């Protein structure tokens, strides 16, 4: 089947660089082949750089971003543990759902969609719940295009002796993220957003404090595939020989190794700036055309922008025509924002002023037809 070559400006996947696709199409080898194990070590090192961490337990899970979320909670949380989940969009809601399934005592902070996690409200909640063990939040809410202040949230959580779990799916390699400096205990991401890799992988990292928490568990982890202590038999390098846990998606790991190399070569600082420059250009072009951004400037998430759908404009017709006539994928609104906003991703390879021009010109032309 021939696959069309789309321009991907939704919430991910984004377009994948040719060098990453070429890496992917190299010959498949065994997942315990010494050459492949070498590649895994390289992937681990570059993943540490991308997260800005020295955490030994840093690796890439064999499934999309959602498995990063699930793996974080099933390992850290035990039934009855008090978890504060911060919800300001779809993905915070999923954190809450997973913790409830585990049988945690879940305390929720809810903030208006389109606004960040309210740090003062978190401070009050922590005061009311001194027995809380974990604070979980989404750094970059892809459903609303909002960036929360991860550094402030983590500092507050740690003052109250809580572990910090951060969803960094749309922030890794797109906006400033410093796992060690900020004190995030568990952070996970996805391959198909600002890393510009193929979908299906989830980089993840655990601090020593998180590892100690897992070691002290009183109840077993209620998952086989996501149990970190079992996964380690495969991922942990060093004296012990690696043993089979599951068959790693070897070709996808060739791809993420190349995608991470592109991050290392560019440097994170340049990459963060590139995402911000592209987003600034997008805002000014769209605003000049009379379109309205949904999030106030100081809380906008550069890789993903929410644009209000003008009154009387048919959401599905615009996105349908962009796809059919221009090969462009634009993101629709998610959850409460369905039908109300478009989501424009400028992630990874697409985070450039040129690409911002391209998508804003196309959208403005499409609206001009109506
Ligand atoms: C995309 C996304 C996820 C889920 O990732 P999948 O790869 O779709 O499983 C989780 N959290 C956030 C913030 C996301 O943007």
Q: Which residue's CA is minimally distant from atom 12 of ligand 1?
A: 169
Quote the Cα angle for 206-207-210, to 5°.
80
Number of domains in the chain: 2
- In terms of domains, do 114 and 258 share one? yes
Q: What is the pLDDT of residue 240?
A: 63
* CATH number for the domain harbouring residue 194: 3.40.640.10
> 190, 199, 249, 334: which to mutate for ligand 1, most atoms within 8 A of CB?
190
Ligand 1 atom closest to 89 (CA): 13
- In terms of domains, do 138 and 101 share one? yes
Q: Which residue's CA is minimally distant from atom 15 of ligand 1?
A: 142
Q: Could you say which of 264, 298, 329 is where a domain stops?
A: 264
H or E element in which residue 293 lies: none
Q: What is the pLDDT of residue 241?
A: 74
- Please give the share of the chain, as a percent, with pLDDT higher than 70: 99
Q: Is residue 1 part of a domain?
A: no
CA distance 262 to 274: 14
CA 18 from chain centre, in angstroms, equals: 22
Q: Which of these, 369, 361, 218, 202, lies nearest to 286 by C-alpha position?
A: 361
Structural domain boundaries enclosing 40: 18-264
Ligand 1 atom closest to 190 (CA): 7
Beta carbons within 10 angstroms of residue 252's beta carbon: 19
Contact predicate 309/340, CB 8 Å: yes
CA distance 258 to 36: 14
Q: What is the pLDDT of residue 238?
A: 64
Q: 112-143, pLDDT tens digit by residue? A: 999 999 999 999 999 999 999 999 999 999 99
Q: What is the pLDDT of residue 242?
A: 84
Q: 166-199, pLDDT tens digit by residue? A: 999 999 999 999 999 999 999 999 999 999 999 9
Q: Which of these, 32, 85, 68, lies nearest to 234 by C-alpha position?
A: 32
Token pair listed for 283: 């805002």
Q: Is residue 135 part of a domain?
A: yes
Under DSSP, the state recorded for 218 is S
pTM score: 0.97
- In terms of domains, do 252 and 340 share one? no
Q: What is the pLDDT of residue 358?
A: 98
- In terms of domains, do 288 and 161 share one? no
Q: Is residue 294 part of a domain?
A: yes
Q: 34-71, pLDDT tens digit by residue? A: 999 999 999 999 999 999 999 999 999 999 999 999 99
Q: Is residue 2 part of a domain?
A: no
Backbone angles phi, psi at 293, to 5 degrees: -80, 145
Under DSSP, the state recorded for 28 is P
Q: What is the 12 CA–ligand 1 centroid distance (Å)?
A: 9
Ligand 1 atom closest to 66 (CA): 9
Could you tell me the maximum CA-CA distance found in the chain, to the nearest angstrom?
66
């Amino acid at each position: 089947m021939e696959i069309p070559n789309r321009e991907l400006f939704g919430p991910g996947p984004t377009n994948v660089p040719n060098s990453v696709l070429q890496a992917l199409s190299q010959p498949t080898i065994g997942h315990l082949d010494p050459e492949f194990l070498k590649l895994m070590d390289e992937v681990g090192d570059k993943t540490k750089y991308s997260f800005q961490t020295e955490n030994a337990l840093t690796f890439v899970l064999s499934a999309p971003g959602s498995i990063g979320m699930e793996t974080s909670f099933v390992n850290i949380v035990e039934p009855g543990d008090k978890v504060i989940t911060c919800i300001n969009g779809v993905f915070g809601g999923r954190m809450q759902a997973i913790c409830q399934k585990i049988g945690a005592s879940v305390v929720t902070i809810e903030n208006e969609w389109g606004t960040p996690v309210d740090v003062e409200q978190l401070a009050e909640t922590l005061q009311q719940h001194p027995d809380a063990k974990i604070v979980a939040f989404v750094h970059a809410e892809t459903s609303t295009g909002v960036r929360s202040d991860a550094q402030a949230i983590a500092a507050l959580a740690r003052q109250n002796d809580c572990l910090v779990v951060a969803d960094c799916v749309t922030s890794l390699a797109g906006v400033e993220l410093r796992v060690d400096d900020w004190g995030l205990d568990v952070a996970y991401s996805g391959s198909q957003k600002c890393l510009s890799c193929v979908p299906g992988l989830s980089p993840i990292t655990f601090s020593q404090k998180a590892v100690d928490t897992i070691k002290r568990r009183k109840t077993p982890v209620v998952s086989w595939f996501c149990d970190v202590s079992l996964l380690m038999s495969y991922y942990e390098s060093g004296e012990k020989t690696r043993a089979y846990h599951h068959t790693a998606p070897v070709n996808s790991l060739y791809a993420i190794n190349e995608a991470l190399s592109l991050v290392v070569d560019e440097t994170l600082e340049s990459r963060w700036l590139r995402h911000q420059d592209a987003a600034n250009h997008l805002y000014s072009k769209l605003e000049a055309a009379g379109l309205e951004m949904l999030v106030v400037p100081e809380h906008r998430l550069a890789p993903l922008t929410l644009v209000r759908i003008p009154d009387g404009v048919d959401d599905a017709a615009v996105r349908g025509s962009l796809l059919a006539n221009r090969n462009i994928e634009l993101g629709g609104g998610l959850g409460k924002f369905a039908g109300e906003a478009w989501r424009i991703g400028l992630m990874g390879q697409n985070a450039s002023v040129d690409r911002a021009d391209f998508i804003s010109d196309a959208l403005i032309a499409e609206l001009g037809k109506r």
